[in-house]
Chains A and B, each alone.
Chain A
Amino acid sequence: MGNYVCSQCRGPAVFRMRHHRLAFCQPHYLEWFIEQTARVIEKYHMFAPTDRILVAVSGGKDSLALWDVLWRLGYQADGLYINLGISSQEGDYSNESQRYAKDFAGQNGLRLHVVDILQQYGESIPQFASRSQRGRIKPCGVCGLVKRHVMNRVARDEGYDVLTTAHNLDDEAAVLMSNTMAWQVDLLQRQYPVLPAEDGFVRKAKPFCRFYERETAAYSLLRGIEYEEEECPFSVGSKQLVYKDMLNKMEETTPGIKMNFYAGFLNARSAGYFSPQNKADNEQSRELHRCPTCGQPTASDGACAFCRLVKAA
Chain B
Amino acid sequence: MRTVAQLELRQRLRSTRWKVALVVWFVVVGAITALAVGALGDVGDGLGLGSSIFGIVVFFVLFLGLIVAPTLSSAAVNGDRNAGTLATLQATLLTPAEIVVGKLLAAWAAALAFLVASVPFIVWAILAGGLNPLLLLATLAVLALELGVVCAIGLGFSALVTKTSGSGVLTYLVAGALSVGTLLVFGLTVPAITAEEQVRAWDVEQGYDWESDEPPVCEWQTVETTQVHTERTWWLLAANPFVVVADVQPVPPYDIDDPAATSADPLALIQTGVRAARTGPADEVDWCTGMHVSFDADGQASAPASPVETPELSTAPVWPWGLGLHLLLGLGAVAVAVRRLRIPAYSLPRGTRVA
Are chains A and B native binding partners rather than an unrelated pairing? no
Please give the residue numbers on chain A whose beta carbons come within 8 Å of chain B beta carbons, in ascending order.
Answer: none
- Residues on B facing A (Cβ under 8 Å): none
